[in-house]
Amino acid sequence: MSFTAIAFTFLSMGAFAFLMWTLVQKQEKNDPKFEEKLAADDRRAKANRQAAGMEASAATGQVPKQIAPQLPIEPPKHAP
């Protein structure tokens, strides 16, 4: 490929990215509940990650760290 073709490709991609960014910004600006939707999406994603972690640990027989009991650690006793 020639330098001109590569430069045209990069310029075209940059122009398209700028156009898409502008359209998304306009759409977000016109949506008054956008932040609430993002927060709700974050909560759903966190719940799904936790559920997936619980399923994976149940399948392997491991207890997740967040619900594992905290047992006191005693130093080893030496035999006489």
CA atoms within 13 A on the CB side of 38: 6
Burial classification of residue 57, based on how many CB atoms lie within 10 Å of its CB (0-12 exposed, 13-18 middle, 19 or more buried): middle
Model confidence over 21-41: pLDDT tens digits?
999 999 888 888 888 888 899
* Spatial CB neighbours of 31, under 8 Å, sequence gap ≥ 6: 37
**What's the CA gap between 39 and 50, in Å, rounded?**
17
Per-residue pLDDT band at 58 (split at 50, 70, 90)? confident
Per-residue pLDDT band at 13 (split at 50, 70, 90)? very high
Q: What are the structural domain ranges in the chain?
A: 21-56
pLDDT average, residue stretch 45-51 = 90
